[in-house]
Amino acid sequence: AQRVTQPEKLLSVFKGAPVELKCNYSYSGSPELFWYVQYSRQRLQLLLRHISRESIKGFTADLNKGETSFHLKKPFAQEEDSAMYYCALRGSSYKLIFGSGTRLLVRP
């Protein structure tokens, strides 16, 4: 079965603290993994994908096939990072399978 699990519904950190949003997946083949972000009153938008190994807005995510994880990390959180974050998986059918999301709250 294809599944994405985000174990934390809410993650609260202080500004400047490191952030790690957890994502675990279940997929029998070689999936594509993504992080989507939804800021308050805005549309769901792509943050980053595992293939490009990029850093967007200071966030990075590494695919760990052994642990079937794709955790999102940022060394120093900013207040503007407060948002809902969704981990998503895409298999051969191109449909996206989302996790239930983690709300990140960055306190001043």
Partner 1 sequence: DAGVTQSPTHLIKTRGQQVTLRCSPKSGHDTVSWYQQALGQGPQFIFQYYEEEERQRGNFPDRFSGHQFPNYSSELNVNALLLGDSALYLCASSLWHLQGNIYGYTFGSGTRLTVV
Residues making contact with partner 1 (CB under 8 A): 4, 6, 9, 32, 34, 43-46, 49, 86, 88, 90, 93-101
* DSSP tag of 66: T
Closest to partner 1 by CB, 15 vs 90, is 90
Could you tell me the two tokens for 17? Answer: 């603290």
Residue with smaller CB distance to partner 1, 77 or 97: 97
Minimal distance, residue 20 CB to partner 1, in Å: 19
Q: How far is the CB of 75 from partner 1 (least distance, A)?
A: 25
Residue 64 DSSP one-character state: B
Say what the alpha-carbon torsion angle 65, 44, 85, 108 is, to the nearest 10 degrees.
150
Residue 54 or 62 with smaller CB distance to partner 1: 54
Closest by Cα among 66, 75, 74, 89 to 6: 89
